[in-house]
């Protein structure tokens, strides 16, 4: 019976429970990223017809179809597609995962990595490990357990809504939905970058989080044939070279250094030099790149426009026009850096 239903043609509403994501009245208990609408279970049950579910879910559960929808999580992902369900299932699950990654991006700059959530279609994003430690030089020993991973919820509450509206994430969502001058190729690039950074924000393994950040930076700023070690510092400088940190903290050297560590990891599997400070540095770079690109999307409506902008700023620099004197950089560029204390750094 199930096989026959899965192979039938139709207009399908896919409803997938998600975990680690909490909606609130401040988002009207739903949030649409692009193709996926995240909605509270209560709201879906109340407004089921709006989502293409015409039979009462309680009646579906009480039938002989073994549908246990009242056991679902409090947040659901809803996707509507036409075709054979069996052909669409994998695509829909991947789509929900991708758009949860985009939602996870909203934590960049908003919270600290130590308190990040990992919204997921998987029930468990945290694990409990037991251990026994024995001192072999005497009879001392102790045992216990430790919780690892991400157990918090990403809460789309009033604080989240205000922060995202004031900064760039809500504007980014509108761009991904097609409501901007950005061309289709650039919109897809921004979507890929968003997913990469979101995955980095939810990853607990330092080398992978760092590598995802580096790939995102390269995806935003470089083209095939570029010499990355030269072009990355130049293009990042175009956006933030006016900030005092650029010279005071030698950002040009730091960018070349993290790129070197990225190459060591990618080409020889050597992640021994990657440090927490490298990850947080790339977090800051990405936050400010995304913020300034999204807020100035009319100016940066394609990657080519970013390359042209970088070349013009570099030409000004040759002529001695630097920093705030630039005629090319908009005066509305921003730079924001997240502050971490020693305790935070140890916990990442």
Strand partners, 126: 149
pTM: 0.90
- Residue 279's nearest CA partner among 267, 253, 261 is 261
**Rounded to whole angstroms, how far apart are CA atoms 59 and 79?**
22
Asked if 348 contacts 279 with a C-beta cutoff of 8 angstroms, the reply is yes
Q: In the predicted model, what is the mean pLDDT of residues 17-25?
A: 96
Does the pLDDT of residue 123 top 90, yes or no? no
- Our CA angle for 123, 124, 130, nearest 5°, is 150
- pLDDT band at 270, cuts 50/70/90? very high
Does the pLDDT of residue 66 top 80, yes or no? no
In this structure, are strands 9-18 and 126-134 parallel, antiparallel, or unpaired?
unpaired
Q: In the predicted model, what is the mean pLDDT of residues 245-273?
A: 95
Rounded to the nearest angstrom, the gap between the alpha carbon of residue 268 and the centroid of all alpha carbons in its chain is 27
Is the dihedral angle over the CA atoms 234, 237, 239, 242 positive or is it negative? negative
Does the pLDDT of residue 73 top 60, yes or no? yes
- Residue 281's nearest CA partner among 251, 239, 323, 236 is 251
Would you state the structure tokens that stand for residue 131, as one six-digit string? 């251990």
Does the pLDDT of residue 4 top 90, yes or no? no
Strand partners, 78: 15, 37
In the prediction, which pLDDT does 326 show? 84
Asked if 258 contacts 299 with a C-beta cutoff of 8 angstroms, the reply is no
């Amino acid at each position: 019976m199930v096989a026959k239903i899965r192979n039938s043609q139709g207009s399908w509403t896919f409803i997938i429970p998600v975990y680690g994501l909490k909606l609130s009245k401040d988002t009207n208990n739903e949030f649409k990223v692009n193709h996926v609408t995240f909605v509270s279970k209560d709201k879906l049950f109340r407004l089921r017809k709006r989502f293409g579910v015409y039979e009462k879910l309680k009646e579906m559960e009480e039938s002989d179809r073994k549908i246990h929808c009242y056991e679902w999580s409090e947040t659901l992902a809803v996707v509507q597609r036409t075709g054979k369900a069996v052909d669409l299932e994998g695509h829909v699950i991947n789509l929900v995962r991708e758009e949860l990654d985009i939602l996870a991006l909203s934590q960049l700059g908003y919270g600290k990595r130590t308190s990040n959530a990992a919204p997921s279609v998987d029930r468990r994003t945290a694990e409990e490990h037991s251990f026994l430690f024995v001192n072999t030089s005497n009879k001392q020993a102790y045992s216990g357990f430790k919780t690892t991973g991400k157990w918090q919820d990403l809460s789309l509450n009033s604080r989240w809504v205000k922060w995202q509206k004031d900064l760039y994430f809500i504007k980014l969502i509108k761009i991904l939905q097609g409501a901007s001058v950005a061309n289709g190729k650039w919109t897809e690039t921004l979507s890929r970058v968003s997913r990469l950074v979101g995955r980095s924000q939810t990853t607990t393994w330092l080398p992978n989080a760092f590598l995802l950040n580096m790939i995102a930076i390269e995806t935003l700023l470089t083209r095939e044939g570029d010499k990355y070690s030269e072009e990355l510092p130049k293009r990042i400088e175009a956006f933030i070279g006016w900030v005092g940190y650029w010279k005071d903290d030698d950002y040009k050297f730091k960018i070349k250094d993290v790129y070197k560590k990225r190459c060591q990891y990618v080409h020889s599997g050597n992640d021994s030099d990657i440090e927490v400070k490298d990850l947080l540095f790339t977090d800051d770079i990405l936050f400010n790149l995304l913020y300034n690109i999204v807020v100035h999307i009319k100016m940066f409506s394609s990657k080519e426009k970013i390359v042209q902008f970088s070349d013009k700023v570099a030409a000004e620099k040759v002529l001695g026009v630097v920093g705030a004197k630039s005629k090319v950089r908009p005066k509305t560029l921003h730079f924001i850096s997240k502050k971490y204390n020693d305790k935070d750094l140890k916990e990442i």
